[in-house]
Structure 1
Amino acid sequence: MEHSYLRYRSLWATGVVTSPSCKIGVDHDKDEELVVCGAVRDVVWWSPSTGKLVRTFRGEVESSGFESSPNDGGRGEVVAVAVPVATDAALKHAVAVAYASGVVRVYRGRDEEDRFEVEGHRGAVHVLRWCPAACWLCSGGANGELVLWDCVGERGAWRLAGHKRAATDVCFLGSWTGGGTGLLVSASRDATIRVWDRDRCVETISCEAPAMGVDAAESRVASAGDDSSLRLWEFSSSEENLGSSSSMRRARPSEACQQLRFSPDGSKIGCLTATCLEVYAEQRREKKTKKRKRSLLVLVATVFPTDRPRSFGFLRDSVVVFGTRANTLEMRGVNDDDRDDDVRKIGVLGHRSAVRSLSLSSDARSVCAASAGGLKIWATASPTLERSLAAVKKVLSVCFVPGDSEVVAGAKDGSLRIVDVASGIDTEATPPHAGAVWALDAAILGNKICVMSGGADRELKIWRLAKSRTLKLTKTLDVEDEILAARFVCDVRFVAVATHDACVRVFFADTLKFKLTLYGHKLGALCVDGTTDASLLATASADKTIKLWGLEFGDLRRSILAHDDAVTALLFFRDTHYLVTASKDGALKMWDADRFLCVQHFKRGHVGEVWALAASPSGDRVYSGGADRSVRAWQRTDEPVFASEEAEARLDAELRDDRRETHAAIVAESSGGPSADRLADAIELARAEDAKTDDHHHHHHQQPSVLLLGRTTARYVLDALAAVPSPDLETAILLLPLDLLTSLLDYLAATLDATNLELVARAVTTAVKLHHKSVVAHEPLRAVLNTLRLSLRDSLGAERSIYGTNLAALRLAAFTT
């Protein structure tokens, strides 16, 4: 009976305020304005007034372990959100979400289960926009196609194909309810603006305007892009077209416009660049009458957020909210006197950069994540932040000290700091490393708390935690190359060190004496771990493989191509031989080290590189962190998993996946039966013609068959043999009856010459191999083969002589030149 395992499912994810790949939206609710953001796979609502997380909609909930989804892997990332602007719309609480896979999901209200999905794009969706009544939704894809969705009927209405490059923005004009004359305006990277009347393009404007905005009255459209102009277009309901009403040069023409939006009252226009927000306002009419050539738009404020902006939205009371690339939301006030006031910043719950290291406390109640912005300690029961510790330097590694009252962090500048979890006070250990600290581990060694560190300076250091809660250096070991990973393994009996020279060295933990070196990886070894029973050691490398070693003699048990990219982390579950690996390809996998099997893939996880892993002592929880800045928890369930069924499900999903970048070159296989039938028909026809020729009574009265086309019977059979495809020749000869095979060899012997020598030799050799027993037992067949043997030997000898002569001539010519 096949061995069964237990499945792990995603439990929660945290650490992301707003994804940099998704522009934010503003929900103008009557009760409270909320900021809607994409958070990797999820959609989150933040309150600008309180800074708290109001609501979260999970991106994917698995219903079956074998069910494949178009949102697996990186394609499950939220890339666009859209919220209806009008508060009196039919679906005023709705939100539309687009994924990198092309799937569009619409939540009708505040109930996560009240939703529907549509799929009409072959690639990622770049833009989403609601019509004023929230009955129609338009999505624009990376290939330039626009799809209009009927959200009442939950179906696609029209596919608009006109743009040659990716769509960048869309907006609705006019009335889209009843028999209204509504228009759709779209912008693209192909330097055109197109105006659509439902299913047809009515106007095309050549304009560098990848960003657009429409006012609340749906009567004016603002456009800007890579050029230095900001244009304002007015919609004419009678003529159903756009007319340029005004144009001006932007205040910062060297920076391209990334996003353009009107304020809720339509009095201001925000133009977002790579560094700031330019706020423009329309001049009053009496000023226009005094000087007609003067532009209608004037710059009233320039707002510079603290971090690089990715998107923005207008709130009430002249407040703008920025979604930044640093995983924060920043609210600032906009005044007409060209000043900006700080309002609020939401970012304490977000990691500033990729999560490079994870460490779990000994009681499994807290998990510490390290990133460039510092350390964050999360509660494992629910994703609540217990402590946020800012760091001046970029933190690369972290580990809890036994007792869980301190955390040790290693930085890129080589410093090693011990941080008190309760107070947040940190103390630097001396002397520091001379390079980045890539490896950290802590354990109780000889009744003393010891911390091991290693990094780019090629030194492995053992520190002892003193009573003053400081680190004292006790031992230093020089290693041949940079240390990328170091672990206490096998219940602190050994120290395993993975280095950049693709080797893993094992030392005794108490004395640091050398035990053995493991060779085999082709690229640098990135991670290492061992079983608690000291029988196995697992190593992983940038060469995409994991290797299992016997720890007693250092013998290689198995090398497995585990991932599609470098394997960045691995760990054994305590008291088991089950192994979990993480990779830069974004996948997490569980392995059985005794059977060398991949047990399962952790589905619907990270959408980027995975850098860190941690697991509870009982193995019921696994935690992962990666480049998407999130920390994810995986819970072991009671659902059984069979490795063979998982492998079949993965193969079926790959075969059904039409979005793969590469495909196998599938060649239709032929059985050779048709070729054998045609060859047999040719031999039978030739034999019939020869029988007619041998009949002296009808010799002068019978005409040869027209199928011979004037050829002799032997030449006709030879041509039929040459028409057999080369891959089918063996099968065709195998399927011939013995009497037809004898006739075939007779005809080949009669037509053997220099022009068909290769074909005849191959056919005769194949026939002898396939029908050896029949040749031995059949006298007429042996006689034919004797004739062919002599003829082929002479012919092949002549060919060999010609080849030798030509080769000698070529060598002589090369020598003389």
Structure 2
Amino acid sequence: MGVTKQYLRVAPGPIFGIVASQKSNIVCFPGIRAQSFRCAVGACENVYIWDLTLKEKVLTLPGEKHEVTAIARSPKTNFMAVGYADGSIKLFDLETCQSDVTFQGHKSAITCLAYDASGLRLVSGSKDTDVILWDVVSESGVFRLKGHKKEITQVTFLNQKDVIVTSSKDTYIKFWDLGTQHCFYTVVGHRSEVYGFLLLRNETRLVSGSADSELRVWDIHYLEDEVETATEELPAKRRKLETDKDISDVNLGESDDEKDEEEKAADEAMRILTCKKVGSVMRQGRDRLVTLCTDPDQRLLLCHGTDKHLEVFQLPSSDDLNKLKAKRIKKLRKKHLDSGQDVDTASVQLKLEDEIKFMERFKFSAKLWSLHCCLDSAKQLRFCALLSDNKIETGLLTLDKQKCTLGPVICLSQAGHRTDVRTLSFSSDNTTILSASSEEVKLWNRDSLQCVQTFACDYALCSMFVSGDRHALIGTKSGKIQLFDLNQGLLLQSFEGHSGAVWSVAPMPDKRGFISGGADHDVKFWNYELSTDKNRETKQKVLTLEHTRTLKMDEDVLCVKFTPDHRLLAVSLLDNTVKVFFVDTLKFFLSLYGHKLPVTCMDISSDSSLIVTGSADRNIKIWGLDFGDCHKSIFAHDESVTCIEFVPKTHLFFSGGKDRKIKQWDADNFENIITLEGHHGEVRTLSVSPTGGTVVSAAHDKSLRLWEKTEEPLVLEEEKEVEREKEEMESLLKEGEEIVPGETSEEVKMAGKKNIETVKGTERIMEALEIYESEVEKLKLSKSSQGASYTPHPMMAAYKSATPTDFVLETLRKIRASELSGALLSLPFSYVTQLLPVLDACLSHRRETELVSKCLNFLLKIHHGEITSNHVHLPVIEKLKDHSTTAVEHHRDITAFNMAGLTFLRKLVEENNSVVMFADATSKRKKKKRAMLAVK
């Protein structure tokens, strides 16, 4: 039996180089300090909270592996809801930056989130077309609303009524009554996808935006109380018609028209409101709407499309509109004064342009992705814009009588690149990381991950540190080779290295120079030289480059590499081959062919014995440099291989591809050691540190990630077993949506969904019930046979449970409230019949009344038909009825007694001290906070 080879695990490290992702919205809010202003943005799987005044990151809300797609902040509490690409939602406490609540209900990415005015309920919309209402207090889903046919674009609560408003790409805006769980009204006036809407003027006006440049305005009319009273009778009548449908058809002889009229009347009576289009306001932008928002005082309306422009509209108050109307009436009377005609004041009506006035259009440095505005800690109106180039801009908005001005704009951009990073390099001392993109080069401190130097460059394709780490070379798309002084942050010289793009540079093993390969079919050799700088008075020696010789090729050169022993030179060409030459004579030695597409990356091991090549054909080939034979061809990635590099002094290497994965391989036994998943875009490049303990990678998601070697051993067999279990669990979850007994409505469904945690919860309940049955039998035997000792199950000891009933109750308690319904739903009926007596025992002893009642009500609702059809279960149901009533009444009496005691104590304190308790808190809650806009 061979010796199992062990490796050390490579674990994900910190993320840096990203300001904000373009998959999520931005949320701004006042900071704790005076004059401070903060914003929350998605940054891959995390949420960053930036202090825009200090231009620094103050908080990080950690995610797991899925990208952030939506953010919402609670209006009353210090919580933030974060939606992810897998459909999950987490609630974070901003004080601890931890999440104890996770909602699992959607099947695809969350697109929008919204809290109600109290912050106790949360509504979410997703790409799966569903809308789900969540109870934040009970940490569980309430119900799922189905009705839209395409992706949900926005959701919000209607505070005057218990109503949710939703918009979708199916061109509809729907109003949902949360009491009846029914869509009672649909706005159908849009011709294309609805991307957002706003509620204005005390929720009596609706402004919506779609794929055109038109903002449609709707008047919301709330129906009178007598109409609402009529709805109480008509639904019952409709139910009677539906129940007795066949009887009415035969006996009553009603026509189809009469039935349709009655059903139509019932639907109209169930309406809470109606919407009527009053007009449209045109935006100057021609593209689709992206964001539509207003300030807290609703004085300004801000919107933008997919371009660089922000449009601002003024929303005059009711008093201003009344003054404008009175002014027009006065002008009309003055006009008709000489003629003696009567003035019809009813004919003087305000136009829609008077209510929504275009004011200004501001241009930003890049395309706008998301926008939000609020009051800062100084009660000034600020906006916060998330731009498409990994940048955040914020500024003051000041409203004059006829003009809106934009104050000084603060730009947060230093922490990342504007475009994708195309090349990475480690310094020889492992303390500095160089990253370069199409517009700039950045130097990062390895320990603090802070950007320490930034300087402009041309479109960078490759890079390397010069010996001594005081200079760096950048190969550009234009063919130039740029030499930078890193200490001074200056561009020393720019050399016309190639007539085409410089695709690769590689240092010589003796560190006296480097080689470059370009699209002009040339491989050029360069030496470092010191020359006198003629532009300086001190005649200081500066580093320069000297071109020594050129190797002509027949195709574009994509990659070049030296062997560490300085004997061979490998050149990757556009004809899918790799040519190997002797360095001293430049004579041809080997041709490595076998790839079906060009080799995009390659590297040579430290002992100069192996070369690995990665290609756009998704394969990695391992070659021997002695005879040029292919040791192994590996189908490595699901997309093109973009980067590859050996770990120094080993035969281990890392590869990255457009499939967003980084993989570690062993070139000796051709095994995939570990797959590192974390990037949310195609991996562009990676670099291994000189010590081999750290890997840095860059991807299309604008992020730079560190991967660090740990001391934890990794065994391949165990990793493969974990992968198999993961695949089995994923296949189990893909079996389809569970059918809920008794659920007949196509419009309302259960909020939760089957996931790994609910499956584990079901298994834990089943295991607990099996242990319960065995422990009960053991207790009976120990009581019947005197002197026999009873030894509880080890799991009971671990849960610190004295009795089997306590053990089952503790198992239920350890399941999260958001996953309890899903776990009970998957529980087989045979286990349900075992669980009911246990719940009855808990209620009889008044243990965890709320939790037990919740489980009991859910199980009886789901399995109502099976339980009531079998007389065996009736005695248990009778006991549950009595015990649950007694337990709930006892719970209610305790609550009422405590409330009465607290009320008595409050009155006693008020009488003795002549004060009114909670007066300040009550007045603050009732007082509306309004923006202090400077009006000149």
Fold agreement, TM-score > 0.5: yes
Q: Counterpart in 2 of 1:629?
A: 702
Q: Counterpart in 2 of 1:327?
A: 390
- Deviation digits for residues 175-220 of structure 1 (CA, Å, limit 9, x no counterpart): 6xxxxx4211000011110011122212111133321234696665
Paired with 2:288 and 2:466, the residues of 1 have a C-alpha distance of 49
> 2:524 aligned with 1:461, yes or no?
yes
Q: Counterpart in 1 of 2:170?
A: 190
Paired with 2:324 and 2:285, the residues of 1 have a C-alpha distance of 25
2:14 to 12, 15, 33: 12
Q: Tell me which amino acid in the other structure corresponds to 2:351.
A: R
> 2:440 aligned with 1:374, yes or no?
yes
Q: Counterpart in 2 of 1:489?
A: 563
Q: Tell me which amino acid in the other structure corresponds to 1:194.
A: K
Paired with 1:117 and 1:341, the residues of 2 have a C-alpha distance of 40
Change (3 A) 1:491 1:388: farther
1:451 to 495, 507, 514: 514
C-alpha contact 2:214 2:283 (8 A) present in aligned 1: no
1:277 to 307, 310, 318: 310
- Offset of 1:234 from its aligned partner? 5.8
Q: Which runs of 5+ in 2 are unaligned?
A: 225-271, 329-347, 531-541, 737-936
- Offset of 1:452 from its aligned partner? 1.5
Higher RCO, 1 vs 2 (CA within 8 Å, ≥6 residues apart): 2
Change (3 A) 1:251 1:461: same
C-alpha contact 1:229 1:253 (8 A) present in aligned 2: no
Q: What TM-score does the superposition give when structure 1 sets the normalisation length?
A: 0.74
Q: Counterpart in 1 of 2:381?
A: 318
- Deviation digits for residues 286-326 of structure 1 (CA, Å, limit 9, x no counterpart): 22453414221101221211111111111433332210101
- What does 1:409-808 align with in structure 2 at a 5 Å threshold? 409-445=474-510, 449-467=512-530, 468-603=542-677, 605-657=678-730
Change (3 A) 1:219 1:387: farther
Change (3 A) 1:126 1:207: farther
Q: Counterpart in 2 of 1:42?
A: 46
Q: Tell me which amino acid in the other structure corresponds to 1:263.
A: D
Paired with 2:382 and 2:68, the residues of 1 have a C-alpha distance of 26
1:106 to 73, 91, 100: 91
- Offset of 1:335 from its aligned partner? 4.3
C-alpha contact 2:217 2:281 (8 A) present in aligned 1: no
> 2:23 aligned with 1:21, yes or no?
yes
Count of matched residue positions in the alignment of Structure 1 and Structure 2 = 635
Change (3 A) 1:44 1:360: same
Q: Counterpart in 2 of 1:699?
A: none
- Offset of 1:443 from its aligned partner? 3.4
Root-mean-square deviation (CA, aligned residues, Å) is 2.3
Structure showing greater Rg: 1
Helix, strand or coil at the partner of 2:496: coil
Change (3 A) 1:153 1:549: same
Helix, strand or coil at the partner of 2:596: coil
- Offset of 1:623 from its aligned partner? 0.8
Which region of structure 1 is more displaced relative to structure 2, 588-597 or 264-273? 264-273
Change (3 A) 1:342 1:491: farther
Q: Counterpart in 2 of 1:395?
A: 460
- Offset of 1:661 from its aligned partner? 11
Q: What TM-score does the superposition give when structure 2 sets the normalisation length?
A: 0.65
C-alpha contact 2:8 2:710 (8 A) present in aligned 1: yes
Q: Counterpart in 1 of 2:182?
A: 200
- What does 1:65-214 align with in structure 2 at a 5 Å threshold? 71=65, 76-84=66-74, 86=75, 89=76, 91=77, 93-174=78-159, 181-198=161-178, 199-208=181-190, 209-214=194-199
Change (3 A) 1:148 1:660: closer
- Deviation digits for residues 232-260 of structure 1 (CA, Å, limit 9, x no counterpart): 45656665425448533223162321111
- Offset of 1:660 from its aligned partner? 11
Q: Tell me which amino acid in the other structure corresponds to 2:488.
A: S
> 2:349 aligned with 1:292, yes or no?
yes
Paired with 1:381 and 1:36, the residues of 2 have a C-alpha distance of 25
Q: Tell me which amino acid in the other structure corresponds to 1:226.
A: A
Q: Counterpart in 1 of 2:367?
A: 308
Paired with 2:565 and 2:393, the residues of 1 have a C-alpha distance of 47
Q: Tell me which amino acid in the other structure corresponds to 2:613.
A: T
Which has a greater percent of helix?
2
Identity among equivalent positions (%) equals 31
- Deviation digits for residues 240-284 of structure 1 (CA, Å, limit 9, x no counterpart): 425448533223162321111111221111111122111111232
- Deviation digits for residues 138-165 of structure 1 (CA, Å, limit 9, x no counterpart): 1111121111111111111111111011
Helix, strand or coil at the partner of 1:466: strand
Paired with 1:477 and 1:427, the residues of 2 have a C-alpha distance of 26
> 2:300 aligned with 1:268, yes or no?
yes
Which region of structure 1 is more displaced relative to structure 2, 44-53 or 250-259? 250-259
Helix, strand or coil at the partner of 1:653: helix
Helix, strand or coil at the partner of 1:329: strand
- Offset of 1:428 from its aligned partner? 3.5
Q: Counterpart in 1 of 2:932?
A: none
Paired with 1:658 and 1:218, the residues of 2 have a C-alpha distance of 46
Q: Tell me which amino acid in the other structure corresponds to 1:299.
A: F
Paired with 2:662 and 2:362, the residues of 1 have a C-alpha distance of 42
- Offset of 1:617 from its aligned partner? 2.0
Helix, strand or coil at the partner of 2:727: helix
Helix, strand or coil at the partner of 2:681: coil
Helix, strand or coil at the partner of 2:366: coil
C-alpha contact 1:173 1:219 (8 A) present in aligned 2: no
Q: Tell me which amino acid in the other structure corresponds to 2:101.
A: F
Paired with 1:318 and 1:303, the residues of 2 have a C-alpha distance of 16
